[in-house]
Amino acid sequence: MIIIMKLGASKQNIDNVLGIIRTNGLEPHLSDGKEVTIIGVIGDKTRLMNQNLEIVDGVERIVSVTESYKLANKKFHPEKTVVKVGNTSIGGDEFTIMSGPCAVESEKQVLETAQAIKKCGAQILRGGAYKPRTSPYSFQGLEEDGLRLMKAAREATGLAIVCEVTSLAAIGTAVKYVDMLQIGARNMQNFYLLKEAGKTGLPVLLKRGLSATIDEWLNAAEYIMSEGNQNVVLCERGIRTFETATRNTLDISAIPVIRTKSHLPVIVDPSHATGVRDYVAPLAKCAVAAGADGLMIETHPCPEKALSDGPQSLTFAQFDTLCNELRPYIALSGKKF
Amino acid sequence: MIIIMKLGASKQNIDNVLGIIRTNGLEPHLSDGKEVTIIGVIGDKTRLMNQNLEIVDGVERIVSVTESYKLANKKFHPEKTVVKVGNTSIGGDEFTIMSGPCAVESEKQVLETAQAIKKCGAQILRGGAYKPRTSPYSFQGLEEDGLRLMKAAREATGLAIVCEVTSLAAIGTAVKYVDMLQIGARNMQNFYLLKEAGKTGLPVLLKRGLSATIDEWLNAAEYIMSEGNQNVVLCERGIRTFETATRNTLDISAIPVIRTKSHLPVIVDPSHATGVRDYVAPLAKCAVAAGADGLMIETHPCPEKALSDGPQSLTFAQFDTLCNELRPYIALSGKKF
Amino acid sequence: MIIIMKLGASKQNIDNVLGIIRTNGLEPHLSDGKEVTIIGVIGDKTRLMNQNLEIVDGVERIVSVTESYKLANKKFHPEKTVVKVGNTSIGGDEFTIMSGPCAVESEKQVLETAQAIKKCGAQILRGGAYKPRTSPYSFQGLEEDGLRLMKAAREATGLAIVCEVTSLAAIGTAVKYVDMLQIGARNMQNFYLLKEAGKTGLPVLLKRGLSATIDEWLNAAEYIMSEGNQNVVLCERGIRTFETATRNTLDISAIPVIRTKSHLPVIVDPSHATGVRDYVAPLAKCAVAAGADGLMIETHPCPEKALSDGPQSLTFAQFDTLCNELRPYIALSGKKF
Amino acid sequence: MIIIMKLGASKQNIDNVLGIIRTNGLEPHLSDGKEVTIIGVIGDKTRLMNQNLEIVDGVERIVSVTESYKLANKKFHPEKTVVKVGNTSIGGDEFTIMSGPCAVESEKQVLETAQAIKKCGAQILRGGAYKPRTSPYSFQGLEEDGLRLMKAAREATGLAIVCEVTSLAAIGTAVKYVDMLQIGARNMQNFYLLKEAGKTGLPVLLKRGLSATIDEWLNAAEYIMSEGNQNVVLCERGIRTFETATRNTLDISAIPVIRTKSHLPVIVDPSHATGVRDYVAPLAKCAVAAGADGLMIETHPCPEKALSDGPQSLTFAQFDTLCNELRPYIALSGKKF
């Protein structure tokens, strides 16, 4: 931690800050300049956590030197994490493609989709049973019935399944059916839900919040991991900016940034990032080129009739074409598919 | 709903869209121009909700004409709502000031604060018992013990109390103690929590999400109201932008915008909006001048020792000065305090 | 300047950085911790400006301690600046209201407006002769003819006049007519134009760029001031965010932030900030309450017929009402009007 | 253009709007619903440009149906534009790589860089002679001397050269030396400069402004093109968002969006988008995968000593490696390099 003193801070101000630091069992390092005085604090800064040095007389600002997340931090865990999900794993040699409808609607829809995506090589079936929708009057999901249909599709195809959970009750139900829990963008800082998901021990797909910084996202992962569950996969799905040509702005730079800061696998969801079917294919290629570990892509037997997010869903034919187009990019990235 | 056709959409494309509209029992109005064809749809657009017209051949884009929120919409409820909380009410003739610590820490802290703010004229005591914190290693709140302390302060002073809830379990506990539930910014689109808060029938203070548009915020209020609970108070607390001189950017324009779009009361939290103690007073005056129904301001007996958000908390003396400075602004705005 | 070394930076890395600092005639202060090493640099950091320490081996990041603007910085010029414009001044005891049309259209329009706003107490007439418009097919301004009309209105009423300049040629013409040059939001980082405006010695109204941080804004002022011209007035006019209910988002917190960082006067333009006539009055009151030195408000004899920005312009009657409503707020803020 | 009337607009309000439309020689189409009335306007909407229908009584809002840019619009010019620059061209079968230093510093620096990048296959040398810098105290460029050095490097290597211009004077000088003018992000809405660049007839590289929407960017291109100059190449270089892990946020979705909306070539600058050398390579691959026509990448003989933007510049060895890594991606995208 670095404390930057105000221009003209008095000797008494400086001595007071040095005193607070020493009282808390830490060692201050004073750099006393003509214009400005800097105090470096070495040691366990959590000891100063509740000292609110920002408002002590003579202090201009505090600069944090170390990240608050530890378990998700590459500095302390340099080796890349591989997360096992059903019979497949994410973050290793294999490139992972998750696909399926935004919302589970019927047995026929889910089963057809599972079979179609399996034929293309996808390893994980996605499908929402608990849908967070902007308006209370939109379709809210089939809940446990939806989970049941997902499990049936898994039994029929051998695909692993991932479903979003939005409450403790949904987690309690989902653990009976799914291979992986998904925490959606709107719940990325629902810390209560993160801890409960962590306690299940199941792998968790953690989507980035619409306005979450990468540091906040890794701190959200830390909530799950601090419950003893290291099986976290991050998913970049677009952030909110002023640009309206796409529903959100895919922050593709997040992939190399995460690689630098964390050992956790990271995948990309180009369907939610753009909200436009025609942009899914070019952005899926981008994600591979940027070094992502996988993709999440929405598909539907008949996007025109989808109860949620139809405009961004691919048909099976489009998905098949895309998977074939992705293969050489995946090979270039050093992964198998 | 308005459907804008692509330049060069064929007659068949147009007839197909007209057909879909008529099949769903609605009446299309065709405006056929040289450059572009527009189709207006009159009637209950929810009938077209799952038709995904955006991806029908020849369609360029869809423009929504009516808002999806109804109960929160001023168009259908022109009279302003007044929400009763304990012995006070928000949205009527009186200007409401809520104050107290970010987090409940001890009996002494809460009681002293309650007495101090009451003396200044504040009507509602705030205090967090369930704290959503970015890092799992920060202080997370006293939970039910904190609620108990808040209730004791209420009994001692007669102030109404408001506490944040972050889970169904927290709601279940809080209803035994508080006059008003608070849904925090990070949970603004935790739709499950919104519905559960709605079911309690207690007044709900709904903070705006960091990246929520005003329309999304009003849709979140709609979730609470659609459970039969009309007692919703909105709270602007800053949105996330590129500017880093303040923790968030107070969107003061939201006050007159909400006045135009909704009948719900709206208050402002300048403490969280800026994160800086020195900016709280000028922005509190702004809020009054913009026409807000109230303020939420953090205070602490000793901000330097606060376990959460100390740097933005006022001392009792600062709060007293501020309340006095606010009185003439409140009088100008036509309210009493 | 503070250099934060990477976790595990070698002794050789650290010695190398220390060497670079000493070679440039500066003194490093080493804080060597268990987890991280920090090096504070005391003295004139411009000596290290081209050393790019960010990419020296072992360096994690650089933290700047002092601001790059000096002339605009309150630390070095604690006394507030008052800028004289024609017969009035901005930043002193008087509250300044600038008003007039977005674009100068005709002699009648300008003269009527000047007379109307003068009657309400406004001190400065605004009016655009060089209009930066998003589309090349929109009205681009009357250029020198427009300036001539502005000058005539000034002679008829005694009001000072301010006009936007968008090129060196425009500056060359404008100096013959106006009391104050305006640099618009889109040109805030047109550094060439800033320097040329500085050279004229005329007072300059510097609008904040749509995506400019407050630090960048003050650095833009520094460009003008570094040409020997200290007569700079800042104008907050909204920043670009994700919210679309208003054209821009008025960053009202910028007023107290500027007060803390700079000695320059700062005014607010609620017309451009919102783009909506109905929101101008509440936000004008906000600006006064936040401590602004003045306001810029668009008026037009007939907003429905305005060639630019009609929807945000007030009629004379609306402007008169607003000025009367503002008086008590101005009195509370300790200014005269 | 579509006019949406307010709920409860009177018959007189509606008749008034219909009258204004007809008076301006256009034909209104009325869609009269239970909740809301919509009026479609067919024909040349520029006739209504100055009617400010937004503030006519009873009008809720106006929805624009057609884009204001015409020459840059794919709807009217479906065939892709290829821009010839020196001996190479952008937007055709060949993939274009521009490279060189942020700022021209010396003959040796420029010549060595030109030779190094040529060996790797790059076709265009970039180098700044007029540098827009946030602070007036940073290096501002060698101006005409810099252009002279660029031209010498061009003569020695046969590479085409592109230099940024920041004023009419700079354009006047640059046309004597360069093959292509660059308009930087900060000047994207310096409309005066755009028109002057258009008049030269030289190809123009138009960088996207930090907070420019894609529509505003295409309107800026329209300014250049409306002067009779169709040789415009767009360059995505990151937009400003709340995320601070990278200097800007590369909006990679802009590539497929531009492909849909315009016939102009578009390239990507990953150096400025991230500000971090380690992220340049993965984002360069992304740009190819997204379908860009080229790249602009900063290189320097010794990035540690660069006078501008050293931390994001590649060494020659790093650039060589990157070009080799890009070849298979370029081949997949159907281009040659």
Q: Is the pLDDT of residue A259 over 80?
A: yes
Where is pLDDT greater, at D228 or D2?
Answer: D228
Nearest to A135 among B166, B186, B219 (CB): B219
Query: What is the largest distance, in Å, between two alpha-carbon atoms of chain C?
Result: 76
* Domain contains B337: no
Q: Are residues C158 and C48 in the same domain?
A: no
Q: Are residues D210 and D328 in the same domain?
A: yes
pLDDT at A52: 82
Q: Is the pLDDT of residue C49 over 70?
A: no
Our count of domains for chain C comes to 2
pLDDT at A41: 84
Q: Are residues C54 and C89 in the same domain?
A: no
What is the tens place of the pLDDT at every residue in D113-164? 999 999 999 999 999 999 988 889 888 899 999 999 999 999 999 999 999 9
Q: Is the pLDDT of residue B232 over 90?
A: yes
D-chain residues near C130 (CB < 8 A): 192
Token look-up 């659609």 returns B226
Confidence at D50, pLDDT banded by 50, 70, 90: low
pLDDT at C213: 97
Three-class SS state of D117:
helix
Confidence at A49, pLDDT banded by 50, 70, 90: low
Q: Is the pLDDT of residue C43 over 90?
A: no
CA atoms within 13 A on the CB side of B111: 8
CB contact under 8 A, C42 and A34: yes
B-chain residues near A52 (CB < 8 A): 303-306, 310-311
B-chain residues near A311 (CB < 8 A): 52, 54-55
Quick one: how far is CA B33 from the chain centroid? 43
- With 0-12 / 13-18 / 19 or more C-beta atoms within 10 angstroms meaning exposed / middle / buried, residue A23 is exposed
pLDDT at D32: 78
Return d(Cα A116, Cα A156) in angstroms, integer. Answer: 12
CATH number at residue B46: 3.30.70.1140
Q: Which of A126-130, C31-35, C252-256, C303-307 has the lowest mean pLDDT?
A: C31-35
Mean pLDDT for A203-221 is: 97
CB contact under 8 A, C52 and D211: no
* Domain contains A76: no
Q: Are residues A128 and A250 in the same domain?
A: yes
Where is pLDDT greater, at A163 or D23?
Answer: A163
SS (H, E, C) chain A: CEEEECCCCCHHHHHHHHHHHHHCCCEEEEEECCCCEEEEEECCHHHHCCCCHHHCCCEEEEECCCCCCCCCECCCCCCCCCEEECCEEECCCECEEEEECCECCCHHHHHHHHHHHHHHCCCEEECECCCCCCCCCCCCCCCHHHHHHHHHHHHHHCCEEEEECCCHHHHHHHCCCCCEEEECHHHCCCHHHHHHHHHHCCCEEEECCCCCCHHHHHHHHHHHHCCCCCCEEEEECCECCCCCCCCCECECCHHHHHHHHECCCEEECHHHHHCCHHHHHHHHHHHHHHCCCEEEEEECCCHHHCCCCHHHCECHHHHHHHHHHHHHHHHHCCCEC
Which tokens hold the place of A200? 């299940």
Q: Is the pLDDT of residue B50 over 70?
A: no
Q: What is the pTM of this model?
A: 0.95
Name every residue in C having a CB less than 8 A away from some CB of A.
Answer: 2, 4, 7, 29-36, 38, 40, 42-43, 63, 65-66, 75, 240-242, 244
* Domain contains B132: yes
Distance between A136 CA and the closest CA of chain C, angstroms: 21
CB contact under 8 A, C213 and B288: no
Is the Cα torsion angle C213, C216, C222, C223 positive or negative in sign? negative
Q: Are residues A8 and A149 in the same domain?
A: no
- With 0-12 / 13-18 / 19 or more C-beta atoms within 10 angstroms meaning exposed / middle / buried, residue C296 is buried
pLDDT at B196: 97
Mean pLDDT for D31-43 is: 78
Q: Are residues C43 and C164 in the same domain?
A: no
Which tokens hold the place of D219? 């309107």
* Domain contains C77: no
pLDDT at A287: 98
* Domain contains D33: yes
Q: Are residues C20 and C104 in the same domain?
A: no
pLDDT at B205: 98
Total beta-carbon pairs less than 8 A apart between chain B and chain C: 112
Over the range A237-253, which residues count as b (16 or more CB within 10 Å of their CB) and which as e?
bbbbbbbebbbbbbbbb
Q: Is the pLDDT of residue D26 over 90?
A: no
Is the Cα torsion angle D246, D247, D250, D251 positive or negative in sign? positive
Percent of all residues in chain C with a pLDDT value above 70, rounded to a whole number: 99
| Closest Cα in chain D to B7 | D75
The answer to whether residues A183 and A197 touch, using CB atoms and an 8 Å cutoff, is: yes
The chain-wide mean pLDDT, for chain D, equals: 94
Total beta-carbon pairs less than 8 A apart between chain A and chain C: 56
Residue whose C-alpha is closest to residue B117's, from B84, B150, B164? B150
Length of chain A: 337
Which of D18, D21, D39, D42 best tests the B interface by mutation, with the highest count of B CBs <10 A? D42
* Domain contains C68: no
Neighbours of C22 (CB within 10 A): 11
Residue whose C-alpha is closest to residue A61's, from A17, A24, A28, A20? A17
Residue whose C-alpha is closest to residue C210's, from D58, A115, D212, A39? D212
Q: Which of B202-216, C240-254, D44-58 has the lowest mean pLDDT?
A: D44-58
Return d(Cα A109, Cα A316) in angstroms, integer. Answer: 12
CA atoms within 13 A on the CB side of A140: 11
CB contact under 8 A, D51 and C190: no
The answer to whether residues A149 and A106 touch, using CB atoms and an 8 Å cutoff, is: yes
Q: Which helix (H) or strand (E) holds D163?
A: strand D160-164
Distance between A241 CA and the closest CA of chain B, angstroms: 9
Q: Which of B116-125, B155-164, D50-59 has the lowest mean pLDDT?
A: D50-59
Return d(Cα B103, Cα A52) in angstroms, integer. Answer: 14
CB contact under 8 A, A285 and D285: no
List the C2-5 sheet strands across, edge first.
C27-32, C37-42, C2-5, C59-63
Q: Are residues B35 and B132 in the same domain?
A: no
Which of B30, B38, B67 best tests the D interface by mutation, with the highest count of D CBs <10 A? B38
Residue A93 CB partners (closer than 8 Å, separation 6+): A335, A336
Q: Are residues C260 and C308 in the same domain?
A: yes
pLDDT at C32: 78
The chain-wide mean pLDDT, for chain C, equals: 94
Write down which chains contact chain A via at least 3 CB pairs under 8 A: B, C, D
Q: Are residues D322 and D222 in the same domain?
A: yes
Nearest to D55 among C54, C277, C307 (CB): C277
Q: Are residues D20 and D87 in the same domain?
A: no
pLDDT at A47: 73
What is the tens place of the pLDDT at every residue in A65-98? 888 899 999 999 999 999 999 999 999 999 999 9
Confidence at D104, pLDDT banded by 50, 70, 90: very high
- Note down the domain range covering D192: 83-332
**Residue at a domain's end among B12, B35, B63:** B63
pLDDT at D237: 97
- With 0-12 / 13-18 / 19 or more C-beta atoms within 10 angstroms meaning exposed / middle / buried, residue C146 is buried
Q: Are residues B25 and B88 in the same domain?
A: no
Q: Which of A269-283, B286-300, C61-75, D44-58 has the lowest mean pLDDT?
A: D44-58
Total beta-carbon pairs less than 8 A apart between chain C and chain D: 128
Q: Which helix (H) or strand (E) holds B144?
A: helix B144-157
Residue D47 DSSP one-character state: G
CB contact under 8 A, B252 and C211: no
Mean pLDDT for A236-242 is: 97
* Domain contains C75: no
Phi, psi at B63, each rounded to 5°: -115, 125
Identify any residues that bridge with D5 across adjacent strands, giving them in sequence order. Answer: D59
* Domain contains A74: no
The answer to whether residues C250 and C268 touch, using CB atoms and an 8 Å cutoff, is: yes
Distance between A137 CA and the closest CA of chain B, angstroms: 8
CB contact under 8 A, D289 and A241: no
What is the tens place of the pLDDT at every residue in A322-334? 999 999 999 999 9
| Closest Cα in chain A to B248 | A211
What is the tens place of the pLDDT at every residue in C212-221? 999 999 999 9
CATH number at residue C182: 3.20.20.70
ipTM: 0.93
**Residue at a domain's end among D13, D35, D63:** D63
Identify any residues that bridge with A205 across adjacent strands, giving them in sequence order. Answer: A182, A233
